Chains A and B, each alone.
Chain A
Amino acid sequence: MTTVAAHSLRRRKRINWQKILLIVTFSAVPLFLLALFTYVPFAKMIKFSFFDMSYTKNKGYVGINNYLKVFSKSEYVGAMLLSLYYMAGAVVQLALALFFATLLSNGIKGGGLFKGIIFFPFLVNGIAIGYIFKFFYTRGFVLDTVLQSLGIPLEKLPYWLRDQSINNWSLVFTSVWKYCGQNMVLFIGAIASIDPTLYEAATIDGANKWQQFKAIILPGIKTVFMLNLILSITGSLSAFEPAYVVGSMGANGTATFFIKIHQMAHVNNKVGMACAMAMVLMALIIVFTIAQRLFFRYVMKDADNTFNSKANKAKTLW
């Protein structure tokens, strides 16, 4: 008996060494990169935000002065408010995505083709989008030609990228154009996972399409919808792509807060100030994320974060 136990003990010990070796070799590189590109820059960002410094020179500790400057200059507050345009765009985008997802989930002929076409802009290179839409919006070019053919004279049309009363909406449109199809694909996936017998039962009960949408589809995709809403809203806070590539680096009053950070760091070379601005942006994003998560954990009662819940009850073999 004792020899068997000792044998199995020895065996287990050998396996343990192998296990440790495997865990270390398999997770060392990803953890190193995670530290190098996430946690080290994060710690540095907190530190630098309290210093007056450039990439090469450190002029000393300035306390919370950088932060005070962020909130006292109307330039930065105004840039932050630009994200409201993108939030409005995000809401329209989600509504359109849901509308098309519902249409395409109703057994439309050629649905796969429609889905592919509406989705494709998501895969287009950002710089390419910049050129495509500069061409699209240029005076007398694509958009103006289409609108003229609908009977609107050119004199009544604005300069889409120059006129400050409209140019931010023009940029928001490019973002909706790119991301609407992606949201739609996610909604189609969520709708497809709803039990089809529910629709049959509803049809027999005499419910029309709108009632079915409200009573079956909406509750069925609530989680995916809320997650997309969170991602779109936090994405709006750090919006930069349309202004960077279509709006020529934020010309004509389209510079979002992120563009200001970029310019502060890489044009004005004020690293401390840029870090303070980035901290403010991050704080805003975290506040929005947590607020929305709490909202749908307590109001909707089913915020299920798969990654996290799996982490808590990690189901492992060895």
Chain B
Amino acid sequence: MSVKQSALPRGNTRENNSALTKKVVLRTLAYFCLLLACFIALLPIVSAFTVSFKTAEEYSTTNAMALPQNWLNFSNYKQVWEGNQPSQSLLRAFATSGLVVVIVVAVSVMMGSMLGYVLNRFSFPGNGLIRNLFLVATLIPGIAMQVTTYQIMTDLGLVNTLTGYIILMSGTDVISIYIFLQYFENLDVALDESAVLEGCTYFGVFFKILLPLTKPAIITVAVLKGVGVYNEYYNANLYLNSGKYYTVSTALYSFSGPYKSQFNIICAGVLLTLLPPLIAFLVFQKQVYAGLASGSVKG
């Protein structure tokens, strides 16, 4: 932009000055709006952060926004990490959620990449039908079907089992298939052709040649699906409610019982649950943004 400015004819200096002032004012306004937006985005989280360091006494006597006396008071964190009973410890919930996330992500990546490969590389009667079956499924709001899905899960004896919850969460989602489909579209078919001419099977082409090349798509699907499954609470609450298994979400949900409105303790739990998505986001920022974009085109 600055290059453009200097390229303009140097006419009336006063006019240039007023244009410059206008530009500075607009820039300042822009920064002001962005800072305000960041303030609003951060305020609820930061206030939860500050209150999590307060002792019970401090919490009941000081204003909610007053800073804690001791920033190193980790007693609330210790409390939620260990829990009143072992079943409510966040440590255990993290282990459960970790297991669920790893399995569901692995299954989603395998299913998405395999189906993407089949639909993109092979023509067969039914190719279009399969694509349309998945496309129409996006029109049916899954949330509307939770009543009958619950009944099916009951019939299969999968309610209150970790296996059942994992199978339900791995249930085909169009976004991962779509991301792989798009990715295979951009992988040159000459790769497959030469491998097949050299005697490689189709299975070999997929596992040895194409799958290693889809690493960026795998990361995108893994991060999006992983964060989604980690944050999921509706199904976890419905299908794992015997008190035997707690995911991070349902463990957090159960806090409202023992800790009622002791937000100093609850917020320590809230902050701990925010860490994994925050770290994943900081490390894989690019893939998160790219994945969102491809997810939005699916329509």
Q: Which residues of A contact B (CB under 8 A)?
A: 18-20, 22-23, 26-27, 29-31, 33-34, 36-42, 44-45, 48, 55, 96, 99-100, 103-104, 106-108, 114, 116-118, 120-121, 123-128, 131-136, 138, 140-142, 145-146, 177, 181-182, 185-186, 189, 200, 203, 209, 224, 227-228, 230-231, 234, 238, 240, 244-245, 258, 261-262, 265-266, 271, 274-275, 278-279, 281-282, 285-286, 289, 305-308, 310-312, 314-318
Instruction: Specify which chain B residues have a CB less than 8 angstroms from the CB of A133 in the assembled complex.
Output: 44
Interface of A is mostly: helix
Instruction: Give CA–CA (A134, B248) in the complex, Å.
Output: 19
A261's partner among B47, B147, B174 (CB-CB below 8 A) is B147
In the complex, 6 of the A-B residue pairs with CB atoms within 8 angstroms, ordered by the A residue number, are: A44-B152, A118-B38, A261-B144, A307-B178, A316-B122, A317-B120
A117 touches B278 (CB 8 A): no
Instruction: Give CA–CA (A145, B230) in the complex, Å.
Output: 33
B142 touches A38 (CB 8 A): yes
**Would you give the shortest CB distance from B95 to chain A, in whole angstroms?**
17
Interface of B is mostly: helix
Instruction: Specify which chain A residues have a CB less than 8 angstroms from the CB of B140 in the assembled complex.
Output: 38, 42, 282
Q: Which residues of B contact A (CB under 8 A)?
A: 1, 4, 26, 30-31, 33-34, 37-38, 40-45, 47-48, 51, 63-65, 111, 114-115, 117-124, 127-128, 130-135, 137, 139-152, 154, 167-168, 170-172, 174, 177-178, 181-182, 185, 189, 192-193, 201-203, 206, 227, 230-231, 233-234, 238, 248-250, 252-253, 255-256, 261, 263, 266-267, 269-270, 273-274, 277-278, 280-281, 285, 289, 292-293, 296-299
B148 touches A48 (CB 8 A): yes
B144 touches A27 (CB 8 A): no
Instruction: Give CA–CA (A134, B261) in the complex, Å.
Output: 9
B121 touches A114 (CB 8 A): no
Instruction: Give CA–CA (A202, B171) in the complex, Å.
Output: 49
Residues A140 and B64 in contact in the complex (CB < 8 Å), given A22-B202, A125-B277, A186-B292: yes
Q: Which residue of A lies closest to B66 (CB)?
A: A145
Instruction: Specify which chain A residues have a CB less than 8 angstroms from the CB of B263 in the assembled complex.
Output: 131, 134-135, 138
B252 touches A131 (CB 8 A): yes
B37 touches A118 (CB 8 A): yes
Instruction: Specify which chain A residues have a CB less than 8 angstroms from the CB of B64 in the assembled complex.
Output: 135, 138, 140-142, 145
A116's partner among B1, B45, B154, B285 (CB-CB below 8 A) is B285
Instruction: Give CA–CA (A189, B291) in the complex, Å.
Output: 11
Instruction: Give CA–CA (A140, B227) in the complex, Å.
Output: 33
Instruction: Specify which chain B residues have a CB less than 8 angstroms from the CB of A45 in the assembled complex.
Output: 144-145, 147-148
Instruction: Specify which chain A residues have a CB less than 8 angstroms from the CB of B127 in the assembled complex.
Output: 314, 316
**Would you give the shortest CB distance from A24 to chain B, in whole angstroms?**
9
B203 touches A22 (CB 8 A): yes
Instruction: Give CA–CA (A19, B141) in the complex, Å.
Output: 34
* Supplied contacts A36-B152, A307-B297, A318-B122, 5 more A-B pairs, CB within 8 Å: A44-B148, A120-B41, A127-B249, A131-B256, A234-B141
A38's partner among B130, B145, B261, B274 (CB-CB below 8 A) is B145
Instruction: Specify which chain A residues have a CB less than 8 angstroms from the CB of B44 in the assembled complex.
Output: 132-133, 135-136, 142, 177
A316 touches B41 (CB 8 A): no
Instruction: Give CA–CA (A115, B63) in the complex, Å.
Output: 31
